[in-house]
Structure 1
Amino acid sequence: MDSRRLPSPDDLLILLTVARLGRFNAVAETLGTTHTTISRRILALDKQLGGRTLERSPHGWELTQLGASAVEAAEAIERTLGSLSGLISQDQSALAGLVRVATTDGVGAVFVTPSLVRLQQQNPQLNIEMLSATRKVSQNRSGVDLEIVVGRADVSTAQTIFLSNYYLRLYASRGYAAQQGLPETLDDVGQHAFVSYVESALQVAELGPRWSSQLPTPRTSFQATSVFAQVEAVRQGAGIGLLPNFMVGDREDFVPVLPGEFERQLPIWAVARPESLRSVRVQAVIAALKDEVKKRSVLLAG
């Protein structure tokens, strides 16, 4: 190849970031530039390579065959620069740069946060952004490298990695149990106040009380979009709640309701595009998460 037509390493690295994040706006934000600049650099790269590297899909930008080959070259450049950076800084850490993780509220606080903090302590040049929201998995979550989701993970353009199962169970506070009593059957739950997610805003159906016909319509309800608000509402005596076992199962101020008669098992998944999974940073995050859930398997199963 004529040296004058060699692709720019900077443009290759921009393409790699587009492949991982899927959208120009997310790439521009990550790299501290503009959508127009990203578009211009990709067009320049296409001209240098003699073909299109990206094609638009309903879920964002996808690599063409030429683009996939270019990304392999970009990944080699990224590895080389990472090694050089380590030599310059005299730091043995192989991880540097930014990794963005989207996660559900409760799992994010109890499992994702401690694993990411520990990973960053081991790799001081690693920067982390964690976005917390309870929503269904996306084919291409713009602006993130990795998603941690619960429930069904039906995706075709991303890869799913199973982390663990946990349980949703019924709980009440000791004060509520003393004042209102506890149901003796599932039908009796309908005579009580109930704490749950806001149904109209809930994207993960399995987290809501009406996902199965086992739970009757409650007398009254207290609904919140945050699982932490739900836990506090139950603790304050607002009613019976369908809560993650790993958040309240070992707390003395919460009483199990109908233990053994009702529970809902949900999986926890790590989800990422194939291009993101080739990143050493993303692989390190997944390994840290697996280690965290393994160490706390008793809590998850309790």
Structure 2
Amino acid sequence: MSSAHHDEALPTRLARNADAIEALLDRLLSFEDGPGEIARPERLLAAMRHGALGGGKRLRPFLVVETARLFGASEAQALRAGAAVELLHCYSLVHDDLPSMDDDDTRRGRPTVHKAFDEATAILAGDALLTLAFEVMADPETHRSGEVRAALALCLARASGLAGMVGGQMLDLAAEGRFEPAPRALGEPDIRRLQAMKTGALLRASVEIGGLIGGADAAALDALRRYGRAVGAAFQVADDILDVEATPEELGKATAKDADKGKGTLVSALGLEAAKRERDRLRDEAITALAGFGEEAGMLRAAARFAAARRS
């Protein structure tokens, strides 16, 4: 199948995967108590469901599932691992939207969790989504091997914590001037590091987790990490460009917030046209990293093109 055919097939594959993830998340966030549980507080669960269900491209679980597919892994296991990544991603969105963070009122065209419920409930909903992510990843149903499950949890923790997504959010807040002393202007290397942590790390981990589920060897994992790193960077540059060019209706959230808050982006550092060239360079770097996987990686190559060209 040619690259054009993979690009044409991508929306259908993305939608099918999103439906499967949505159904799995719906089951994981059921109002019925699970094995060994005492009770699921109704308001907390409703807030979790608001934050996790009913929207989004589910790109991260798509990367998990499509990477695992390269190695003939069980789709059911890959979907569970992908759902764990998505639960963690959704927790980060719930917390990022809080008044003390990015202070957003809408997400995916709907009120954010703290607006639909209240701030305390949103904090707890994020905490619970984060914890559930690791519960799902550590469950034997996700993989029969305890060693593999430990590797999956370690990968997810490293990508999402101190030196990953949470650390990146801290750097972002500091760059806004939240803390003393006053920050210096971010240079291009600072911006790349911040974005690699805040956004890129979890996208890269999604690809690595798919490889781990599939039993990829060290050389394959290294190539997948290079692909994931480039896709994550391209995705973020595309996001910076959309913040300048897209309408709030297209994105389902406010735009121009980066500039309003004085946030450093590659658009501000390089200029719009140079940022677009860098986005395309990163897309090509991601595609090149998959050279050793042949035609079977066609959908991952299409995903790289999609991440760079997205309009929402």
What TM-score do the two structures reach when normalised by structure 2?
0.21
Q: Point out the structure with the larger strand share.
A: 1
Larger radius of gyration: 1
What TM-score do the two structures reach when normalised by structure 1?
0.22
